[in-house]
Every structure is written in structure tokens, then in C-alpha cells.
Amino acid sequence: MMKDKSLGIIGGMGPKATAVFFDKIIDRTLADRDQEHMDMIVLNHATIPDRTSVIASGASSEFLNAIAKDFALLEHAGAANIAIPCNTSHYFYNEMQAMTSIPIINMVDETLKRIHAQYGSGCRVGILATNGTINTGVYAKGCENYSMQLVEPNNEMQRQVMDIIYTDVKGHNNCDPAKLESLIDQLIHNYECQCVILACTELSCIALSGQYAAYSVDAMEVLVERAIQLSGKQYKKPKQ
């Protein structure tokens, strides 16, 4: 069995998503007592610049300079692996990995690897994400590497996605799951996608009904599973 290793988490992007990620790590770890859970160092860096904004403005250095301090803290604390529960931030994955000797779990690649294993080459994959994640093309390029076709929402659907993320979840308004489920339904039935990636950790905060959860591949859940495995623990699948 893999030796137990501590997990560093760079969160705050946003805070609610970080709280959900932490809860999922606890809930999905096979453990009967406190000592059977993993050690974690959680940095809730809520003041870090908005990823979508810095990408759009070309001010990438603002984000990278801010997150450099987090890597230094995690290295000092002895983290063995780093999880960053924010899809948009993975636009900077190569730059971030060059800033630290600690392996950063690549949420985007792990998610696409999972989809390819289940649906194979040539499948049509829908995506629901921030404008920043869509515009960077991180998932589109990843899909090309696995010979899969990424299907992006039209302008009106994308407007609704951003409203759910920024107004409902980040704004702490009550989010009706039916709003997100309607978008998933359109991608599956109107755009003929085999599955839909929930590629924003705020969307992971919304509880979907059974059929829509089955169509969805939650990038945060993939990150949770991989983080648990790399920390030497056993992943416990959620109840259906």
C-alpha cells in the first residue's frame, strides 16, 4: 500500500467550492476513525485575483505572483501533492508546476482521461464552465489529445452558466438545480453529447437529480478521487 502522504490544497477560488471539496475529501475517504483520514494543509486564498479576469486582461502575472506564496507555504509544511480545486486556474498549470517541486494534480487531464476510458475516442463531450475556462481552450486542447470532440454551449447557454456560477453560487443566492439540469439536458439531447463536464467547481456545489448526475462528469469529484489515492488512502464511491 502507498505510504500516507499529506495533501496541500490551494483554495479560495471560490471559498464555497473549497468547502465542498474539503467535505468531499472527508466523505469519500474510507475511514472509521480520525486517524485514518489524511493530513491536509488548506489555504483558503480568497483574495487571489479572479482567474477569468486576469486571463481576459492579459494580467497573468498578478495571479502567478499571488499563488507563488502558497507554493512556498506548502513546501515549508511538507505537502506531498497539491490539489487546486479551480478549473480556470489550470490554464496556468505549466507555469505553476515550474514554480514548485511538489506535484500538482492536473484536474483537467485527470478528468479527460476518465472520460476517454469510459466513452473512447470520437465521443462528443459537452462542457459547462466559466468564460475563462472556455476561452483558454484547456479542455478543448485536452480533448484533441484524447481524440475526443468538445462541444461548447451557445452564447445564451453560456450566459446562463455564468449567471449560475457568479450570481447563484458565488453570490450565495438559492440555486435551483433545474437551471443547471436544463443546460445538461440541452447538451445531451440537442447537441448529442455522450456526457457533460462540470468544469467549474461552483457547479459542483449544486445537487443534481439521478439522471443528470449520471450524464455529468464532475471535475471536482475526479480531483477528489485522485487526491485521496495519491495520499495513500482508499476512495469510497458516493451512493447513487
Tell me which of 86, 143, 175, 205 is the catalytic residue.
86
Tell me which of 143, 175, 193, 200 is the catalytic residue.
200
Cβ atoms of residues 46 and 12 within 8 Å? yes
Cβ atoms of residues 121 and 148 within 8 Å? yes
**Which is it for the CA torsion 180, 182, 185, 191, positive or negative?**
negative
205: annotated active-site residue: no
**Active-site annotation, residues:** 86, 200
